[in-house]
Chain A
Amino acid sequence: MTNREAPAGVAAGKGKTGLIIAAVLVGALLFFPSFVPRYYVYLLATILVTVLLANSLNFVLGYGGLLQLHHAVFYGVGAYAAALILVRTSWPFWLGMLAAPFVAAFAALLIGWFCVRLRGLYFGMLTLALGQLVWAVVYRWYKFTGGDDGIHGVPVPEWLSSINAAYYFIFFISTVSLAILYIIINSPFGLTLQAVRDNPARSESVGVDIKRHQLAAFVLSGFFAGVAGVLFVVLERSVSPALLFWNKSAEILIMCLLGGMFTFAGPLLGAAAIVVISTVVGVYTEYWLFVLGIILLAVVLFLPQGILGFLNEVWCKKQNKGVRGLDVGSCERNEVF
C-alpha cells in the first residue's frame, strides 16, 4: 500500500531512541515504589497489567491487521483459569500461573480456528459472537464460575501478599512479556505477518500461508492477554464476568487507537493514558464514559493515527525535509518510537 522502506535517517534513529527511552522507563519503574504512597503503586500496577493487555491486542490488530473485536475474552479466560486453579485445585501457585495463559491460548486457538476463515468485518463479527458466547457461559454457569458474583478472595502466596511485592511481580512479568512481543514483531514471523496485513494477495502469491500466520498471531495474542489476566488476579485477587464483557474489549481497542495502532509504544501510552484519565475523572464525576466517548470521538475525527502515529509523522517529515523522491505516504506508518 505504501512504501515501507524507511529513509536512512529514520532507520538509524529508530533503535537508539527507543532503547534509551525504554531503559529510562524501566529504571524509573524499578525505583518507583520506594518514593510514592501505596495507592500510586497500585495504580501503576494496574497500568502495567493494562499495558500488556493493550499490546497483546495490538499484536493482532495493528501488526496482524485482523479485526479482533473481542479481545477481552482471553484476558478473562486467563484470569478465570488462574483463579479457578488457585481456588479449586491444590496445584502449587507457580503451576497455576503458568497454566492459565495456556488455557487462554487454547481458547484463542478454538475461536481463531473458526475466525481466520473469514475476512474483514465478518471476522470481527464472529470474534464478537464467539466471545459473547464465552461471556454468557461464564455469566450463567454458577456452579463452576460463580456466575455474575465472580470469584473473590483468591489465595495468593505469602511472599506476594504485599502491594510492593505484587507490583514487582507484575512489573517483571509484563516487562518480559512486552520484550518477547517486541522480539516476535521484529522476527521473520512478525515481519511476514505485517506483509500479510499490507498486501495479502502478494504475500499469498509468494507462498505465505496467510491463515496459518493469522491463526498463530491470534493464539499468541490470546496467550499474552492470558498473562495479563493472571497478573490481574495477582493484583486484585478476584475475577468477575465484567472482565470479558464486550465493552471491556472496546475499551482496549480505544487504548490502541488513542496511542497509535501501528506503533509498538502507542498502546503502552494509550493504556496508561486511559487508566490515569479514568482514575482522575472518576474523582470528579460519575460520567466517566461520557468523557471517554468524547475522547474517542475526537481521536476518530481528528487524530486517527493516534498520538504516537501523529508524532512519528511529524518527526519523519521534519527529518526528511528536502529529501528527494520521498512521497508523503512513506511517512505514514513509520515507526520512530
Chain B
Amino acid sequence: MSSQLLIGLSRAMLLFIVAAGLTLVFGVLRVINFAHGSFYMIGAFLAYTIAFSLGSGPGGFWGALFLAPLAVAFLSLVMERFLLRFIYKREHLMQMLLTYSLVLIFGDAVKMIWGTQYKSIPVPESLSGSFIFLGASLPRYNAFLLLVGPLVAVGLWYLLTRTKVGKICRATATDREMVDALGIDSTRIFAAVFVLGGWLAGLGGALIAPTVSISLGMDVSVIISAFLVVVIGGLGNIWGALVSSLILGIGEAIGVLIWPQMAIVLPFLITAVVLILRPSGLLKSVW
C-alpha cells in the first residue's frame, strides 16, 4: 500500500513537470498548447537516440537528460517564432486548432523518423534497484523522480518570484498592454515562456523514458492528463498544477488498488467534480 502510494507520488511529480509547462504557457500567452504532449513524446524519443549514441555508460542517460530537453526547447522556439506568434490576436479556437495541427504533424513525423517499434532505454546503474523507505520497497528511480519534482517546483518558484524576468512574466500574464507601454517587448517574453514550457515538456519526456516503453501515442495520453491537471488547478496557476497533480497521481494510485478496471475513469471524474463545485479550478487563475 505505502509503496504504491510512493510510486503514485513520483508519477505525480512527473505529471507536475509536464503540466507546469502547459499551465505556464497558458498563463502568459493565453494559448492552450496541444502540441505540449508532442514535445513530451519527442523528448522521450530524443532521449532514446541520444542515450544510445553516447554509449551505454552512465554518460548516456545523463547526457540524454541534459540534451533532449534543450533540443525540444529549441524546437518550441522555432514553433513560436515561425507559427504561433502570428495568431496571438485570434480567438481561442483558432489558436487551439493551430497547435492541434502540429500534434498531427509531429505525431506522423515521429513515426517517419523513429518507426512504429517500441523503444526503451535502461535505467542507469546508479539509479537501478530499489531500497526500503518508510517500511516500503521503493525503486531508486522513483525516489530520484521524487527529488527532481520538488527541485523543478522550487526552481520555477525562484524564477517567477525572485528574478526580474519572472516578475516581467507575471506582469505580462496580468496585463500585457501595460507591459508593452512600459517599454518591454512582450513578444520576447512570450517566446521565452514558450521555450521554457517546451523545455519542461522535454524534461518530462526524458525523465519518463527509462521507466516506460517509448511509443507513438504517448503524446495524446499525456496531453489529456496534463490538461486535466491544468484545469483542476486553475488555468495558468503553477501551484494549482502542483496540488492537482498530487491529487491525480495519488488518486490514481489508490484507484488502481481499489478498482483496477475503472481507475482510468478516476481522473476525469475528479476533474468533473472539481469543475462542478469550483468552475474555475482549485486556485485562482493568475498568480
Contacts and interface: CB of A to CB of B under 8 A. Distances in A.
Nearest to A261: B93
9 contacts: A67-B93, A69-B96, A122-B275, A125-B227, A133-B269, A136-B268, A137-B262, A296-B101, A300-B101
Given A140-B262, A293-B104, 12 more contacts: A122-B231, A124-B92, A132-B224, A137-B262, A140-B261, A287-B112, A289-B107, A290-B107, A290-B109, A294-B105, A297-B83, A300-B101
A301 B272 contact: no
Contacts of B235: 121-122, 125
A296 B94 contact: no
Residue with the highest number of chain B CB atoms closer than 10 Å, among A121, A139, A257 = A121
Chain A interface main SS type: helix
B52 interface: no
A129 B272 contact: yes
A140 B275 contact: no
A130 B104 CA distance: 23
B275 A129 contact: yes
A250 B98 CA distance: 12
Contacts of B272: 114, 126, 129-130, 133
B260 to A, nearest CB: 10
A290 to B, nearest CB: 4
Interface of B: 32, 83, 86-87, 90, 92-94, 96-98, 100-105, 107-109, 111-112, 220, 224, 227-228, 231, 235, 261-262, 264-265, 268-269, 271-272, 275-276, 279-280
Contact of B275 (A69, A118, A297): A118
A117 B261 contact: no
Closest 7 CB pairs of A and B: A293-B104, A133-B268, A290-B108, A296-B101, A293-B105, A297-B101, A129-B271
Given A122-B279, A126-B272, A253 B97 contact: yes
Contacts of B98: 296-297, 300-301
B231 A125 contact: yes
Interface in A66-125: 67, 69, 114, 117-118, 120-122, 124-125
Contacts of B86: 301
B263 to A, nearest CB: 9
Contacts of A136: 264-265, 268
A292 interface: yes
A139 B109 CA distance: 28
A234 interface: no
Residue with the highest number of chain A CB atoms closer than 10 Å, among B90, B102, B235, B275 = B275
Given A67-B93, A136-B265, A296-B97, A117 B279 contact: yes
B97 A300 contact: yes
Nearest to B93: A67
Contact of B265 (A69, A140, A294, A304): A140
Nearest to A61: B93
A42 to B, nearest CB: 26
A277 B50 CA distance: 37
Nearest to A117: B279
Given A125-B227, A140-B262, A114 B102 contact: no
A230 interface: no
A233 interface: no
Contact of A121 (B92, B104, B228): B92
Interface in A123-158: 124-126, 128-130, 132-133, 136-137, 139-140, 142
Contacts of B97: 250, 253-254, 257, 296, 300
A301 B104 CA distance: 16
A127 to B, nearest CB: 11
B203 to A, nearest CB: 25
Contact of B103 (A114, A132, A142, A293): A293
Given A122-B280, A140-B261, A247-B220, A132 B105 contact: no
Nearest to A130: B272
B45 to A, nearest CB: 16
